[in-house]
Amino acid sequence: MAEAFYRTAAQLVSGGYGALPQEFQSVKHLIYSSPATLAFNSPGAQGFGVKRAGLAIPGSVMLLVSPGCCGRNTIALGPAGSGGDRMFYLLLDEADIVTGRHLSKIPAAVQEVCASCRTKPSAVMLCITCVDALLGTDMERVCRRAEEAAHVPVVPCYMYALTRDGRHPPMTAVRKSVYSLLKPLPKKADAMNILGFFAPLRDDCELYRLFRKAGVHHIREISRCPSFDAYLSMAQANFNLVLNSEARPAAQWMEQFLQIPSIELTRMYQLDKIETQYHLLAQALEIPWEDGPDKDASQAEIHRFRQNYGPAVFTVGEIANADPFELSLALLRYGFSVSEIYGTINKVNFRFIQKIAERSPNTKVYSNLSPTMLFYRPTPAEADIAIGKDAAYYHPECPHVLWCSEVQPFGYAGVRGLFQALSHAVEGRTK
């Protein structure tokens, strides 16, 4: 009987990153639409795909220029997932696709969109698909023509699934697009921006409190901007805090054109790594930083969980607000076991696999993108708790925490929130 392909952590490390089996290299095989790929494989799919992310600018609307097939999931997901009445469509027929004649229709379509809105949009996000990628369309020029026609800023959004594995994948490009309307403003020493996500951090994230205590009174995130004017005030920031590497090109653009430097932090679940990052951040910014109580509270939450439920065995997926390998390493360091990990391996997270191999060499690593996952069959004895939407799918019998809400966990608050959610999940199954 066929089985899902996996390698243990020890086997992966013994060969090195350069010798990864083909099953872990998406360019070497067909991609299986597992629960993982159904959630994020398409740039227009659930959560914050390009279309919804492009509407992050307050007061903006979007015109999707595409064949009907590319827009169907926008309608299927409904207003909550697509922006509802902020989405408009210019559908392409076969002649448009072959000749590119649709490009001449876009300025009039943008005019019509603006005229149909009760309030004049702050901007029109022009979302295009692989059709225009293959045609080699100069979207900057098209947007300029549409701007002249409608007298509204028009910004390109590239929903190019073809570039998903390239240097500027769609979700990286759109992060740059949504800040492109900012204009240079005088800087305020007590203002900063948080870049990286299209939803805010958890309200209890210590970053807000610690920065305010250090004298930073204006902490702006695009998702918390109530108006277009508030969005424009992001250009006043003294610095940007980048929390997602996909926002790095956007931060580089802001540094070049708005003179806003940036500092980058990585989301982690290892408390000592969080502490180190924070102290380096405070040192670079020359600000006071007192995160000891937050670290202690997170340690207490982990201890409480272990005391109540013992050395649980976890299975960890990648459809979660975490790198599955870093989170697995954190769990191992806290005294738990990790039997299986479902994830996409890259050069950055391979170093976590090396550490995992030292502590748990027999941990199985599966590739969500491998077609062999069709044959995956769970072994109930191998997992007590599942973390991640995909891990929960693979182990329906286990208590689980999806951990993929739009509001983003980060830092000590993220660790506390995760273990609180794990406690609730286990308690719910044992009642």
The whole-number pLDDT of residue 36 equals 55
Q: Which band of pLDDT confidence, cut at 50, 70 and 90, is reported for residue 29?
A: confident
Q: Which residues contact 316 (CB under 8 A, 6 or more apart)?
A: 324, 327, 328, 331, 338, 340, 341, 342, 343, 386, 387, 388, 391
| pLDDT tens string 263-292 | 999 999 999 999 999 999 999 999 999 999
pLDDT in tens, 107-125: 999 999 999 999 999 999 9
Alpha carbon distance 271, 390 (integer Å):
25
Tell me: pLDDT of 394 over 50: yes
Residue of 380 and 198 predicted with greater confidence: 198
6-8 and 364-366 as β-strands: parallel, antiparallel, unpaired? antiparallel
pLDDT for 284 equals 92
Q: Residue 175 above 60 pLDDT? A: yes
Quickly tell me which residue has 């701007």 as its tokens.
147
Cα three-residue angle 378-384-388, rounded to 5 degrees: 75
pLDDT above 90: percentage of residues in the chain: 71
pLDDT at 68: 75
Distance CA 338, CA 117 (A): 52
Mean pLDDT value across the chain = 89
What's residue 43's pLDDT? 42
Residue 151 has pLDDT above 60, yes or no: yes
User: Can you tell me the distance from the alpha carbon of 368 to that of 374, in angstroms, rounded to the nearest whole number?
Assistant: 10
| Predicted local confidence at residue 311, as pLDDT | 93
Residue 81 has pLDDT above 50, yes or no: no
CA atoms within 13 A on the CB side of 8: 11
Residue 310 has pLDDT above 50, yes or no: yes
H helical segments located in 84-240: 94-99, 106-116, 130-135, 139-150, 170-177, 206-213, 228-232
Contact indicator for 317, 389 with CB cutoff of 8 Å: yes
Question: Coil, strand or helix: which one is 90?
Answer: strand
**pLDDT score, position 170:** 75
Cβ-based neighbours of 146, under 8 Å, separated by 6 or more: 106, 107, 110, 124, 126, 154
What is the model's pLDDT at position 76? 58
pLDDT in the model for residue 162: 56
Per-residue pLDDT tens over the stretch 39-77:
544 444 456 677 888 899 999 999 998 887 776 666 655
Distance CA 149, CA 110 (A): 8
Q: Which of 161, 100, 102, 157 is nearest to 124 (CA)?
A: 157
Phi-psi region of 391 (alpha: psi -120 to 50; beta: other; left: phi over 0): alpha
Model-wide pTM > 0.75: yes
Residue 215 and residue 264 in contact, taking contact as beta carbons nearer than 8 Å: no
In order of 122, 179, 259, 335, the CA distances from 183 in angstroms are 14, 9, 11, 50
Position 168 scores a pLDDT of 63
- What are the angstrom distances between the C-alpha of 407 and each of 214, 270, 384? 24, 20, 26
